[in-house]
Amino acid sequence: MSKKTHIERMNKVVQHIENNLDAGVNIAALATIACYSEFHFHRVFRSYIGESVYAFRKRLLLEKAVHRLLYANDSITDIAFKSGYDNQSSFNKAFKNLYSYTPSQVRQQRVSIQPLKIELRQDMKLTAEIKTIDAINVISAREIGSYPEAAPKAWGRVMKFAYGNRLMDKDIRSIGISHDDPSVTAPEQIRYDACVDIDADLKNLDFKNNDNLEKKTIAAGKYAMFLHKGSYETFPQTYSYIFNEWLPESDYQVSGDKTCFEVYLNRDPRKTKPENLRTEIYIPLV
């Protein structure tokens, strides 16, 4: 897929949203227009636009509200409803968060609303290594919640089990699976899996009384591997580059049947300076 094709598809998605602002968001329809699976569409859209589908639609509705406040005779309550809010209070709060003025101030004082300044990310250049991997059997611990809160809890559980059963060795891999996009999924619903692959026979391990740990398999197949250097907090920039720069210019397509995963290369990230952290990011390919 060429970058031109990618841009054309994403522009069609944007146009569809703009033409159907009052109809809500239909992710299945948008993913079809973009020719991506629903699983990967959220990340691709955010990489292209800089915000989630829902945030993009919300912003367009609020921008439309500015014009109504300035040039229409609709009441602020009516404008709130037309902008997708159940009440004027919620509308006022969202409007002020975006523009620093209340709807009443815009209408009464005819204040000038300045366009939003979009912070462009710095240029990034990553090289993909295309790999065909075997299935990876892992022990995993799942936690629900924002990633900064969920990840430490999940790793605490899985490492307690691994060390307690003398399963750790120098070749063991620490693998993370971040299932959800925080810009789309509410913090209390975000899923994170902390995983370790082991050489021991998983069939002989008893998981029944081990803090809800699971046996699972990361699918075999073709993946694009990227080396992320630095803090885990900058993962979003790397994923943005992969989906918005590398993928459109490559000859590959993302597989909708598999998940992305991360392999953390540092033995103990807690004792490693953020700038020295190294992570392999695997993107599943068709």
Mean pLDDT to the nearest integer, 186-214: 74
Residue 131 or 167, more confident: 131
Exposed/middle/buried for residue 65 (C-beta within 10 Å: 0-12, 13-18, 19+): buried
User: Quick check: 171 pLDDT over 90?
Assistant: no
23-71 confidence digits (pLDDT tens): 888 999 999 999 998 888 988 898 888 888 998 898 889 888 887 887 6
> Binning pLDDT at 50, 70 and 90, where does residue 184 land?
low
Q: What is the pLDDT of residue 118?
A: 39
| pLDDT above 90 for 216 | no
The pLDDT of residue 98: 85
Which is it for the CA torsion 101, 118, 78, 27, positive or negative?
A: negative
Q: Which domains does the chain have, with CATH numbers?
A: 3-109 (1.10.10.60), 129-284 (3.20.80.10)
Helix 53-71 × helix 38-49 angle, to 10°: 50
Residue 194 has phi, psi (to 5 degrees) of -100, 125
Query: 201 pLDDT exceeds 90?
Result: no
Give the mean pLDDT of the chain. Answer: 85
Q: Supply the pLDDT for residue 135.
A: 93
Q: Which segment of 44-53, 114-123, 199-208 scores lowest on mean pLDDT?
A: 114-123
* Positions of E strands within 67-169: 129-133, 136-144
Residue with tokens 């063991």: 172
Could you tell me which residue, 116 or 105, shows the higher pLDDT? 105
pLDDT of 110: 65
pLDDT band per the 50, 70, 90 thresholds, residue 4: confident
Q: Where are the beta strands (DSSP E) in 129-178?
A: 129-133, 136-144, 173-178
Name the strands in the sheet holding 191-197, side by side, starting at the edge strand that comes first in the sequence: 129-133, 221-229, 278-284, 261-264, 173-178, 191-197, 136-144, 214-218
The pLDDT of residue 156 = 93
For residue 79, which of 69, 89, 70, 71 has the smallest C-alpha distance?
Answer: 69
Give the per-residue pLDDT at 111: 63
pLDDT value of position 120: 36
Q: Is the pLDDT of residue 185 over 70?
A: no
Low-confidence winner among 34-43, 68-77, 96-105, 262-271 (lowest mean pLDDT): 68-77
Strands 278-284 and 214-218: unpaired
Residue 21 identity: L
Res. 183 pLDDT band, cuts 50 70 90: low
What is residue 123's predicted lDDT score, i.e. its pLDDT? 62
